[in-house]
Amino acid sequence: MDNNLRYLQLLAKDYPNTMAVFKEIINLKAILALPKGTEYFISDLHGEHEAFIHMVRSASGVIHAKIEELYGRVLCEEERDSLAALIYNPQAEIARRKKSEEDMSVYYRNVIFRLIEVCRSVSTKYTRSKVRKRLPQYYDYIMDELLHADDEANRAYYYSEIINSVISLGIADTFISELADSISRLAVDHLHIIGDIFDRGAHPDDIMDFLIEFHDVDFQWGNHDVVWMGAAAGNIACIANVLRMNISYNNFDMLEIGYGINLRPLTTFAERFYGNDPCEYFKPKVFDENKYDPVGALTAARMNKAIAICQFKAEGQMIMAHPEYNMEERLLLDKIDYENGTIAIDGKTYELRDKNFPTIDPQNPYEFTEDEKDLLRRLRASFEQSEKLQKHIRFLFSHGALYKAYNNNLMYHGCVPMTENGEFEEVTIFGKTIKGKELFDYLDEQVRAAYFTPENADGKEDATNLMWYLWLGSKSPLFGKDKMTTLERCFVADESTHKERTVPYYSLIEDKAICEKILAEFGLDPESAHILSGHVPVKVKDGKSPIKGKGKLFIIDGGMSKAYQKDTGIAGYTFIYNSRFMALSEHKPYSPLKSDGTQEFHTSTMRTVELFKKRIMVRDTDQGDVIQGQVDDLMQLAEAYRKGEIKEVY
């Protein structure tokens, strides 16, 4: 009772009297009676910042549908598309219109009216106070008045006054941009990122900047996220992997300009030891050109090979230090015949297509040279001291986890380790043997310890090494394959050695009963709940479906990464869960802005996968449970005021 009274006394600081309590109870009960907000689920962004931001700003086609609903019979197709383009990319569309419009004030008048109508349409699920909070600072009062003008005469008056003011003050462009941003914010109530923000694409840093400003987002970490988290924690094997991947995709702007990683030591090292090496099989894949930090293909290839050798050495040291990882078959540097240029893998001998190893001592192949030690020390410092990277990683920790159960949906990036007969596979970590949900909970705890435990503290190094294992380990729930064949792909021409086989989970989930078993393990209702994951690109062009277990599980990696689109045939999925239905939105490749200022926006294909018999209200959600708890607490506070246990303040 004493603890409860102390809690109510703290609550009384925000609600100092009975009327303040009653006002908030009425507000909360009104929220409970509203339809649930729209949740969006996206996975495997892989640095494709323009495509991802477009998906969110367009609400995966929902905003275009709203425009069709409002203006399908009023505006021509070109005008409707222009209005959509204004919401998706306001700065570009305004710049384009300035080149063609004779009188911009007329344009401003028309689009403000239309944007307000769209904004009103996407805000109907929210209380007026919540809408106001999503509106931009300094413009919120004016936009609120516009949205809630009840009669035509009053509305016309407001429009006239606002437009005249914004034009005369020279802030029309900013006002319209902010209004367009507000529409996008209101259309997507809650955003779930189901892993893999980083690698391959050019700008995961821009994605993270965007998400930090987003009103409601959570992450389920993917293996590409965890390897970056391990790099930020100073793990050398993770750092080498991160650098190799991003150099191989020509992402120098992101590394040096975005995160301030100093690559000069690596450039110097590579030129010194590989200056006469063509590094033919290490040339980068170029999907995006660097704007600020262009690096020649040959220099990039030499850097790539240099850091790859460091990676294989660091990983070998890790495997030998941790026999519990059961990765001895990945010790390959000592399987190379350096004199004859061959390598022994799984009992077979293959010729190496690249035989130049100037920094490897055949007698001690996993030992770093003094120059490599110095290089890695400098690179580690660069990762640990990157202010922007550390800010982004801390945000991933504060808003993320290995999995999340929310509104009867279970979200995780990869898989749940299972045996071939459908049982949860036991995994031994630091002497602790665990499986299923317990495995996820323990790994989540260890990942946090890896980052937040002070340097040189007991357990710090083992925990950061585990982050590397989560990146590519055969029993990692984030990886889901028997091995990662990076060395083979770099040095062996025979593609049979490149094969990475998926774990039994990926065939098991075709069975509805297995999906229901996983849901029950994580405490969800197996009959009504769903699983959402990513990680494995769905090859739609080959007839593969993202829907597994007769609609119980959805793999929503559709290939947002340009590197995967030739395999998938599409450019990503968005899973949408609103108050009336669940739907899967399939996207075509994103078209960047053209030189003339125009942009082609492809219509997404939306497929309803579940239609609810009755509309889901906020009271039916996890958020509703939280709000109902707040109502109960406030009722206790009101009772304490009534009994005189707490003094009211007016």
Query: DSSP string of 398-414?
Result: HTEESEEEETTEEEESS
User: Could you tell me if 24 and 61 lie in one domain?
Assistant: no
Interval 275-284 mean pLDDT? 96
Residue 421: pLDDT over 80: yes
The DSSP code for 277 is -
Question: Among 223, 219, 284, 216, which Cα is nearest to 254's?
Answer: 284
- Secondary structure (3-state) at 546: coil
Interval 573-578 mean pLDDT? 94
Residue 325: pLDDT over 70: yes
- Of the pLDDT bands very low, low, confident and very high (cuts 50, 70, 90), residue 521 is very high
Average pLDDT, the chain: 93
User: Could you tell me if 100 and 67 lie in one domain?
Assistant: yes
User: Could you tell me if 557 and 638 lie in one domain?
Assistant: no
- Of the pLDDT bands very low, low, confident and very high (cuts 50, 70, 90), residue 161 is confident
Tell me if 77 is assigned to some domain: yes
- Of the pLDDT bands very low, low, confident and very high (cuts 50, 70, 90), residue 1 is low
- Of the pLDDT bands very low, low, confident and very high (cuts 50, 70, 90), residue 102 is confident
Residue 3: pLDDT over 80: yes
Note whether 332 and 484 are within 8 A (CB): no
What are the helix (H) ranges across 285-369?
A: 297-321
Note whether 131 and 148 are within 8 A (CB): no
Tell me if 524 is assigned to some domain: no
User: Could you tell me if 98 and 48 lie in one domain?
Assistant: yes
Interval 354-359 mean pLDDT? 97
Note whether 474 and 414 are within 8 A (CB): no
Question: Among 393, 382, 388, 394, which Cα is nearest to 259's?
Answer: 388
Euclidean distance between CA atoms 369 and 145, whole angstroms:
68
- Of the pLDDT bands very low, low, confident and very high (cuts 50, 70, 90), residue 254 is very high
User: Could you tell me if 555 and 538 lie in one domain?
Assistant: yes
Tell me if 447 is assigned to some domain: no
**Tell me: the pLDDT tens digits for 462-479?**
999 999 999 999 999 999
Q: Give pLDDT, residue 319.
A: 97
Query: What is the rounded radius of gyration, in angstroms, for the C-alpha atoms of the chain?
Result: 28
User: Could you tell me if 112 and 26 lie in one domain?
Assistant: no
- Of the pLDDT bands very low, low, confident and very high (cuts 50, 70, 90), residue 604 is confident
Tell me if 242 is assigned to some domain: no
User: Could you tell me if 165 and 43 lie in one domain?
Assistant: yes
User: Could you tell me if 106 and 7 lie in one domain?
Assistant: no
Q: Give pLDDT, residue 611.
A: 95
Q: Give pLDDT, residue 155.
A: 62
Euclidean distance between CA atoms 98 and 453, whole angstroms:
54
For the chain, the farthest-separated pair of C-alpha atoms sits apart, in whole angstroms, at 90
Tell me if 211 is assigned to some domain: no
What percent of the chain lies above the pLDDT cut of 70? Answer: 98
**Tell me: the pLDDT tens digits for 427-440?**
999 989 999 999 99
**Tell me: the pLDDT tens digits for 531-550?**
999 999 999 988 999 999 99
Higher pLDDT: 108 or 403? It is 403
Interval 312-335 mean pLDDT? 96
**Tell me: the pLDDT tens digits for 29-48?**
999 999 999 999 999 999 99
Q: Give pLDDT, residue 250.
A: 96
| CB neighbourhood size of 162 (10 A) | 21
Token pair 């808003």 is found at: 399
User: Could you tell me if 22 and 125 lie in one domain?
Assistant: no
Q: How far is CA 115 from the centre of its chain?
A: 29
Tokens encoding 557: 């990696």
**Tell me: the pLDDT tens digits for 114-149?**
999 999 999 988 888 888 888 888 888 888 877 876
- Residue 28 sits in which domain range? 2-34+628-643
Tell me if 127 is assigned to some domain: yes
Tell me if 560 is assigned to some domain: yes
Euclidean distance between CA atoms 303 and 375, whole angstroms:
12
Tokens encoding 583: 């739907």
- Of the pLDDT bands very low, low, confident and very high (cuts 50, 70, 90), residue 627 is very high
User: Could you tell me if 12 and 143 lie in one domain?
Assistant: no
User: Could you tell me if 49 and 168 lie in one domain?
Assistant: yes
Residues contacting 639, CB < 8 A, separation 6+: none
- Structural domain count, the chain: 2
Tell me if 479 is assigned to some domain: no
Interval 239-259 mean pLDDT? 97
Which of 616-620's residues contact partners 24+ apart within 8 Å by CB, and which partners? 616/35, 616/36, 616/579, 616/580, 617/32, 617/33, 617/34, 617/35, 617/36, 617/579, 618/31, 618/32, 618/33, 618/34, 618/35, 618/36, 618/37, 619/32, 619/33, 620/36
Question: Among 195, 292, 196, 205, which Cα is nearest to 253's?
Answer: 292
User: Could you tell me if 49 and 186 lie in one domain?
Assistant: yes
Q: Give pLDDT, residue 456.
A: 82
Euclidean distance between CA atoms 233 and 326, whole angstroms:
24
